[in-house]
Amino acid sequence: MIPRKKIKRLVDFYHKLGKMSLCYSDQGKVKGLQRNGNSPTKQMNRPFFTSFSAFRFVVAAILLLAAGLKSHQLATGPILPVMAGSMFAPILELLQNRSLLISVVAGELLFALVLLAGLWQKWTWLLSILVFSTFTLVSLVKGLNGEASCGCFGEVTINPWLTTALDFFVVVLLLFFRERGGWAIRFSSKERRRLLAALSVWLMLAVPLTIAMMAVQTVEVAELGTEFVGADGKMTLMLEPEKWVGKEFPLLEQIDEKTRTLLERGDWTIVIARKDCDLCKQALEKLTTRQIANLAVLELEDNAQNVKLDKPASVALKGTLKPEPNWVVLTPTVLHCQDGNCVAVGENSI
Say how far apart CA 38 and CA 131 lie, in whole Å: 31
Q: Which amino acid is at 298?
A: L
pLDDT above 70 (res 16): no
Q: How far apart are CA 253 and CA 236, in angstroms?
A: 17
In whole angstroms, give the CA distance from residue 18 to residue 50: 21
Residue 1: DSSP 8-state: -
Q: Note the CATH number of domain 225-349.
A: 3.40.30
72 vs 143: CA distance, rounded Å: 23
What's the rounded mean pLDDT across residues 251-257?
A: 80
Per-residue model confidence (pLDDT) at position 346: 75
Least confident of 31-35, 77-81, 261-265: 31-35
Q: How many CB atoms lie within 10 A of CB 286?
A: 12
Q: Which has the higher per-residue pLDDT, 165 or 321?
A: 165
> Does pLDDT of 321 surpass 90?
no
Kindly state the helix (H) or strand (E) to which residue 7 belongs, with its residue range.
helix 4-17
Q: Is 123 exposed, middle or buried (0-12, 13-18, 19+ CB in 10 A)?
A: middle
| Residues present in the chain in total | 350
Write down the pLDDT at residue 215.
Answer: 77
Ramachandran quadrant class, 273 (left: phi over 0; alpha: psi -120 to 50; beta: rest): beta
Residue 314: which pLDDT band, with cuts at 50, 70 and 90?
A: low
Give me the percent of the chain exceeding a pLDDT of 90: 23
Q: What is the pLDDT of residue 205?
A: 93
Q: How many CB atoms lie within 10 A of CB 136?
A: 19
What is this structure's pTM? 0.62
Give the closest residue to 210 by CA, choosing from 85, 106, 337, 316. Answer: 106
State whether residue 309 is helix, strand or coil: coil
pLDDT reported for residue 253 = 79
Query: How far is 250 from 247, CA to CA, in rounded Å?
Result: 8
Residue ranges of domains in the chain: 4-44, 48-214, 225-349
Print burial letters for 324-348: b (CB count within 10 Å at least 16), e (below 16): ebbbbbbbbbbbbbeeeebbbbebe
- 279 vs 63, residue with greater confidence: 63
pLDDT over threshold 50, residue 41: no
User: Is 177 a residue whose pLDDT tops 70?
Assistant: yes
Closest CA to 246 of 325, 344, 164, 167: 344
Q: Which tops the pLDDT comparison, 208 or 254?
A: 208
Contact between 18 and 41 (Cβ < 8 Å): yes
> 284: how many CB neighbours lie within 10 A of its CB?
23
Q: Identify whether the C-beta of residue 326 lies closer than 8 Å to the C-beta of residue 77.
A: yes
- 141 touches 92 (CB < 8 A): yes
